[in-house]
Amino acid sequence: MSQALLIARRELAAYRRSPLGAIVIAGALLIDGIYFYWKGLTDKLVSAQVLSEFFYGASGTTMIAGIVLAMRLLAEERQTGTLTLLNTSPIKDSEIVLGKFVSAFGVLALMTLLTLYMPLLIFVNGKVSVGHIVVGYSGLLLLGAASLAIGLFASAVAKSQVVAALIGTLILAPLVLLWAVAKAVDPPLNRVLTSLAIHHENFRPFMNGILELDGVVYYAAVTYFFLLAATKTLEARRWR
């Protein structure tokens, strides 16, 4: 675990030196701010609906940010040749993957936290439940963790950051669109596809301030699966 924390600290330092983290955070805040202004001030919605719509819009930027932040984690190491140094060091592949995931999740969590002022603005002229805010942000963090894990797996497979971003998008996009596919098929397959969709039915309860165990377990399972896949990919490459 200590080795993973060392890797995480190293990666956080890399995010501070690189403009990538700042660009992702600034871009996400800009898009979320515009969307919040549009839904909060131009649409005639009650306070709870404005908050739900905010979480809906923020979920999109969170998924995109997860892929972009993760694309460099292992692909950049391979491009610069430093992955060989990591592979020959006394660090387990699981610790490498966990450390890099923790660092990217820290940046994503900071980005998410910086949007907190938007829901708080609702209290100026309206009233919403604090529990709704807490549950909604929990959903964003869980969704972000799953997106990061997918992006990290893509970065482990790809030889460049651009290819990693493309692979991550090609994995994430079908998972997002499974709910639409479910509408075109018959039961019980439609229920299976709906439950596997990374956004629609699994994120909607969080968006509406409802904490459901099924959604928590789903996002935790997706995160674990792709982190494990990234670890196994590194292990396979180590023995080539």
Q: Where are the domains of the chain?
A: 2-238
Supply the pTM of this predicted model. Answer: 0.91
Q: Are 20 and 109 in contact (CB under 8 A)?
A: no
Q: Which residue has the tokens 């993760």?
A: 70
First to last CA, the chain: 26
Cβ neighbours of residue 140 under 8 Å, at least 6 residues apart?
A: 55, 58, 59, 62, 112, 206
Q: For residues 120 and 60, what is the distance between their CA atoms, to the nearest angstrom?
A: 20
Phi/psi of residue 127, nearest 5 degrees:
-150, 130
Task: Check residue 66 and give its pLDDT.
Answer: 95
What is the structure's pLDDT at 43? 67
Per-residue pLDDT of the chain (240 residues; tens, 9 = 90+): 678 888 888 888 888 888 888 999 999 999 999 988 887 767 677 888 888 999 999 999 999 999 999 998 888 877 777 666 666 667 788 888 999 999 999 999 999 999 998 888 888 877 888 999 999 999 999 999 999 999 999 999 988 889 999 999 999 999 998 888 877 777 888 888 888 889 888 899 999 999 989 999 999 999 999 999 999 988 876 655
Q: Give, in degrees to the nearest 5, the angle at Cα 109 between 107 and 114.
A: 95
Report how far residue 172's alpha carbon sits from residue 66's, in angstroms, rounded to the nearest whole number: 10
